[in-house]
Structure 1
Amino acid sequence: MTLPTRTPRPVDAGVLWAGGVAAAVVAALIVIVGILFCRGVLDIPILAPKGDGVWGDADTIKYAAGAAVAALLATGLMHLLLLSTPKSGMFFAWIVSLATLAAMLAPFAVKASQESRIATASLNFVLGIAIGSLVSGSARSAVRKASFRTRPPLPGPPYPTR
């Protein structure tokens, strides 16, 4: 008995990766706005001591770049799951949720003030939700658009011609 072969789901990679790049930009901006809000408005240090000012030091740029890279990695993961895994959205949601949880717990493993740890964990939470939802939405569009493009045309006009 042979198992039926599964035809891969059509994925419009251009749409998926365009969404992934946009998600990377959004992720970097979330970090920058979050740091500005926490340091500038709430006067809570994130990543660096208060003496580094509202913009912080080079770690702010590293954090924003890391968020952008995380979004691109999530896009690559989603692309791989779409091509190879049944219920790819469910697996992606679990992976992103667990990665977000790990990012939220990480600040509590370092020595810092409680408010700084909570602020950093909150920023990581917002970042995880944004990356997960934006990449998932891009994937839904990429699969939907790809399936419309590969559908054969309907035979003949839908009504009789005179």
Structure 2
Amino acid sequence: MSALPPDPPPDRQPVTRRMPPVVPESAVPAASAPPPAVTPAGSPAAAVPPAWAPPGPTPPPRSRVVLRAGPFWGGAFATALVAALVGVVGVLVLQSILDVDLVVKDPAGVENDYLAYGLAGFVAAIAAAALLHLLVVSTPRPRAFFGWILALGIVVAALLPLTWTDDTTSALCTGLVNLLIGVAIWSLLSGVLARTTAVVTT
């Protein structure tokens, strides 16, 4: 009996390689952020104010007195003219009309009682205005300091004639004229200061 021929080998199926699926970029998870830094125990941490914390204190406003020099010195010269006239009127009433011998000091050497008192009143007013201007630009309370200085100066001017003569009547009348001149300077310059200054807040 003849041998049967071997069975033919089965047909080989073609081998197909599978490619990995393509994943879209939007589906790829982003790289995670690094973990927050941990402050080690015992180390000082910066204080972070909460969002609801009120703002810090604001510095208090500063105020200063501004002097208008032009109108001030215009008022000062007008005050000096009034003071000179007060001295002249004082000499006229007391010495020429009431026949009281005034103790007149004449440092300028004008050799006239009217001129001597008029010049003294004018110079005293200008000196007081210069003092007031200096106090305004250099002291916190110029009116108070000026009031004290001028009040004491008026008292000295009113009492000083008592040391010049033994005639009490003459000394008192001279002191009265000095007092009137001082009061006129004080009152007028105080009004001038009130009209020529302003408080500015910065």
> TM (normalized to structure 2)?
0.62
Kindly state the Cα deviation for residue 64 of structure 1 after the two structures are TM-superposed: 1.4
* 1:76-120 C-alpha deviation (Å, 9 max, x unpaired): 111111111112101100000011011011100012421111100
Paired amino acid for 1:127: I
Does residue 61 of structure 1 match 2:78? no
Give the share of equivalent positions with the same residue, in percent.
Answer: 35
Matching residue of 1:86: 140
Q: Of residues 7, 28, 33 in structure 1, which corresponds to 2:89?
A: 33
1:73 has 2:139 as partner: no
In 1, Cα distance between equivalents of 2:136 and 2:62: 13
Identify the structure with the greater strand proportion: 2
> 1:7 offset after TM fit, Å?
5.8
Per-residue deviation, 1:133: 0.7
Q: Distance in 2 between matches of 1:21 and 1:78?
A: 13
Matches within 5 A, 1:1-150: 8-47=64-103, 57-144=111-198
Deviations along 1:118-146, one digit per CA (max 9) or x if unpaired, are 100111111111001111110111104xx
Cα deviations by residue, 1:37-69 (Å, 9 ceiling, x for unpaired): 001221101136xxxxxxxx4243122111101
> Paired residues, what number?
138
For the 8 Å contact 1:8–1:84, the answer to whether it is kept is no
Segments of 5+ residues of structure 1 without an aligned counterpart are: 49-56, 152-162
Relative contact order: is structure 1 or structure 2 higher (C-alpha 8 Å, sep ≥ 6)?
A: 1
Moved >3 Å (runs of 4+): 4-8
Residues of 2 paired with 1:78 and 1:87: CA distance?
A: 11
* TM-score when normalising by structure 1: 0.77
2:103–2:171 Cα contact (<8 Å) kept: no
- 8 Å CA contact retained: 2:158, 2:179: yes
Q: Which has the larger radius of gyration?
A: 2
Letter of the 1:115 counterpart: T
